[in-house]
Amino acid sequence: MTFPKVALFSVKNRLILASASPRRVDLLKQIGIVPDDILPADIDETPLRIKGRDELPRDLALRLAVSKAEAIAATHKGAYILAADTVVACGRRVLDKAESREDAQKHLSLLSGRRHHVYGAIALITPDGQTMSRVCDSVVKFKSLSPSEIAKYLESQEWQGKAGGYAIQGLAAAYIKFIQGSYSNVVGLSLYDTIRLLEGSGYSQA
C-alpha cells in the first residue's frame, strides 16, 4: 500500500519586537526583517544603585533590554522576542531621553567637543525560553558647538524623546566629527549584532 507524498513546508517563526521605536522598525526592514507584532514593554528604566554608585551605563542598557524581552515573553510563549535599549553616556554619566528643551540644551552643551559612548543592548528570547544578548558600543564625537548651533538644533525639535538629546540621522549629523563602531547602533539598533543573534538562535523568516 502506498501513501501520497506530503509536501513539507517550513513554518515561519513568529517574531515580536518589544519596542515602540519606529527607528528600530525601519532599521529591521532595511535588512529584510519584519516583526509579526510590535509590543512595547512597560518597565521601570531607573538606574540601580549598586554599592553606593549608579549602575554602569553598559550594564544599564543590557539589564533594560533583557527586562523588556522578559516582560513580553511572560505572556507570549512560543515566539521569538526581540528587545533593545540605547544608553548614551559621558563617562559614567547617563544622558536620559530629552523630554524638555532644557534637557536637550544641557545634553548638547555636555556633548560639545567631546567623545561619548552609545551603548546599544539587544536581547532575544527564543521560543524555548533561551535568552541571548549583546551590547554594541559606539563612540561618537561632536564638534565644539556654538550657542547659535545649539539654538538652531533646539528649534528643530529633533531632540524630543532622544537619548542624549540628538538624532544622528537628522540635523545633528552635521555636528559629528567621527564615529567609531556601528552607525546603526547610534540610530537605535546595531543591525550587525541583531542579525548575528537571530541567525545564531535559528530564527528564519522563510
pLDDT in tens, 1-46: 444 443 333 346 899 999 989 999 999 999 999 999 999 999 998 9
Q: What percent of the chain has pLDDT over 70?
A: 94
In terms of DSSP bridges, do strands 37-38 and 93-95 run parallel, antiparallel, or are they unpaired? unpaired
In a domain, 6, yes or no: no
* Total of domains in the chain: 1
The pTM (predicted TM-score) of the whole model is 0.90
In a domain, 168, yes or no: yes
In a domain, 159, yes or no: yes
Q: For the chain, list residues with pLDDT below 50.
A: 1-11
DSSP codes joined into one string, 49-112: EETTEEPPHHHHHHHHHHHHHHHHHTT-TTSEEEEEEEEEEETTEEE-B--SHHHHHHHHHHHT
pLDDT of residue 5: 44
Q: Mark whether 59 is an active-site residue.
A: no
pLDDT of residue 206: 64
In a domain, 4, yes or no: no
pLDDT of residue 162: 93
Given the residues 85, 96, 103, 137, select the one marked as catalytic. 85
DSSP conformation class of 174 = G
In a domain, 5, yes or no: no
CATH of the domain at 138: 3.90.950.10
In a domain, 2, yes or no: no
In a domain, 8, yes or no: no
